[in-house]
Structure 1
Amino acid sequence: MVSGSNDSKTPPIVSLAAGGVAGAIEAFTSYPFEFAKTRVQLRSQKGIPTPKNPFLVITQIYQKEGLSALYKGCSALVVGSVAKDGVRFLFFDQIKHAFADPETGTLSPLRNLAAGMAAGVVASITAVTPSERIKTALIDDARNEKRFRGGFHATQTIWKEHGIAGLYRGFAGTTLKQASATAFRMGTYNILKDYETKHDIKQSTLVNFANGSVAGTVTTLTTQPFDVIKTRSQSAAGASTVEAVKSVLLDYGVRGFWKGTTMRLGRTVFSGGILFTSYEAAVKVILPLYEGTKHAVGVEPQ
């Protein structure tokens, strides 16, 4: 499990609800960094350098296009993040509990990573790929054709033109990214928590934030190529995974697969801390309500 004591299992409904709350908070607060990173990764005119400082990109977009531009596609990401992180925490908690050592309640580092990978695949299929496709298409469209009026209109248009396959454009890259990112993010976070539990390090908001930030850093550095491929695949025009890989190599060479690393690192360090801190806080609020409801109807909580 991600939260709670080692001898108790977080109920599935609590994991789902707390993960959804945490995902929404994380997605909204860190979205300008996500926007800047996506803009940098999308294909641009050759020979025109793209700044590596996320604050510079954000400032330039704000000055030229206004505050609303920095939140273009945000609603799609927030909705997707509620589903993504709800599912991700739900499945990770259940998988982690099933694989945990019955005596210590902990997992080996390898099993922590495997549990995160499985949760990432499920999240990609159920929520992440369609929401990321809409978000990326909106950001790309805003700088070119400007034919999408919003997230719902973009969804309708893509569905009408390409069917469900259009909403799952970039599925391979997204799933690879989600499987690896969830494995490293959830795995690293729980490895740190297990270490702290063994050494009697008291959990606090600061410790949770630090753990989440470390997990976010590890995740970014190890999974950036998948993120670049996913972004190219999910542009407004769309591209196959092979086409996306070829376009990155053509434009920037191998180094292009780490395009936007600084932008994403700025976001994941910040968002990783927010995500896990929000999740732990949400569990503390939701779990007593859940247990109270179960007692009220005469059923013992799980």
Structure 2
Amino acid sequence: MAGKKEKPLHSLTAGAIAGGAEALITYPAEFAKTRSQFGGKRESPIAIIRETLRTKGAKGLYAGCSALVVGNAAKAGVRFLSYDHFKSMLADSRGKVSAPRSLLAGLGAGMMEAIFAVTPSETIKTKLIDDAKRPNPQYRGLLHGTVSIVKQEGLFGIYRGLFPVMMRQGANSAVRFTTYTTLKQFVQGNARPGQPIPSSLTFGIGAIAGLVTVYTTMPLDVIKTRMQSLEARQQYRNSFHCGYRIFTEEGLLRFWTGTTPRLARLVLSGGIVFTIYENIIRVIGGRSD
């Protein structure tokens, strides 16, 4: 793709469609991951899914899903738009982006998506999931939950955990895009000029990027979940206090709680998002010289 860049509107559109589709497909894994990261009794992802199906039915596995689908669509749109913008600014004369520059572009994209999309949607999703496990949930859905949270806690209520979200998303995007771009450029460098990368290979590259991302950013994800739970205000003064309490009271390994379902989701997520994004860009002719 040397010398070509994505058109902003097309980056936003393709990213939003890819993000919304990925969230809907992989949500049960996200639900199990989030539930496993709350404090209290440790439960395996399989046990959480089994218990939820027994008590709430299949619908229970999608508690908070609408918040994530909307947020993920917005997040992916902002992420690809920001990353493509930063990447074009940092590319060399041949349109290539070195690994350090890709890391910087990804970090910037992660910060943008955390502020404009991820923090509100993740906070609402986390509170809806936390509330759904109660005998008598107080939130009736996305709209009612959002209005209730804002009434009870103000606008800050849906921006709780902004710092760990910014750190997590910055790290997520920096690691994911750097891994993906590096592998993609390697594959393109060994292919015939002008030959498109097959969707199966794009999926594989995206999956590897998701795998690397999970293990490097898991502690930030756990802190983020705790800071967005319903009891966060009573338990933690800030993100650093939260991390300190988890480490001293529950041990270092607690920072990797929920790795399995998050790994399942992000490996699929990386494959799904990049594959859908690349194909939509190809169909709508979203790259220009």
TM-score (norm 1): 0.89
C-alpha distance in 1 between matches for 2:260 and 2:141: 28
2:269 aligned to which of 237, 252, 271: 271
Q: Which residue of 2 aligns with 1:60?
A: 51
C-alpha distance in 2 between matches for 1:247 and 1:90: 37
Whether contact under 8 Å (1:158, 1:166) holds in the other structure is: yes
Structure 2 gaps of 5+ residues are none
Partner SS for 1:97: helix
C-alpha distance in 1 between matches for 2:232 and 2:158: 10
Q: Which residue of 1 aligns with 2:84?
A: 93
Whether contact under 8 Å (1:18, 1:286) holds in the other structure is: no
Structure 1 gaps of 5+ residues are 292-300
Q: Which residue of 2 aligns with 1:248?
A: 246
- What is the total number of aligned residue pairs between the two structures? 281
TM-score (norm 2): 0.92
Q: Which residue of 1 aligns with 2:206?
A: 212
Q: Which amino acid aligns with 1:184?
A: V
Q: Which residue of 1 aligns with 2:71?
A: 80
Residues 154-173 of structure 1 mapped to structure 2, 5 A cutoff = 154-173=145-164
Whether contact under 8 Å (1:169, 1:238) holds in the other structure is: no
CA RMSD, Structure 1 to Structure 2 (Å)? 1.7
Q: CA 1:183–1:153 in structure 2 vs 1: closer, same or farther (change >3 Å)?
A: same
C-alpha distance in 2 between matches for 1:147 and 1:243: 28
Kindly state the Cα deviation for residue 25 of structure 1 after the two structures are TM-superposed: 0.6
C-alpha distance in 1 between matches for 2:24 and 2:245: 30
Q: Which residue of 1 aligns with 2:168?
A: 177
Q: Which residue of 2 aligns with 1:25?
A: 21
C-alpha distance in 1 between matches for 2:76 and 2:114: 10
Q: Which residue of 2 aligns with 1:11?
A: 7
| CA deviation string 1:39-90 (max 9, x = no partner) | 0001123xxx422xx4453233212321111000000001001111000000
2:210 is aligned with 1:232: no
Q: Which amino acid aligns with 1:170?
A: G
| CA deviation string 1:255-279 (max 9, x = no partner) | 1111111111111111111111111
Kindly state the Cα deviation for residue 243 of structure 1 after the two structures are TM-superposed: 4.1
2:111 is aligned with 1:121: yes
Identity of aligned residues (%): 43
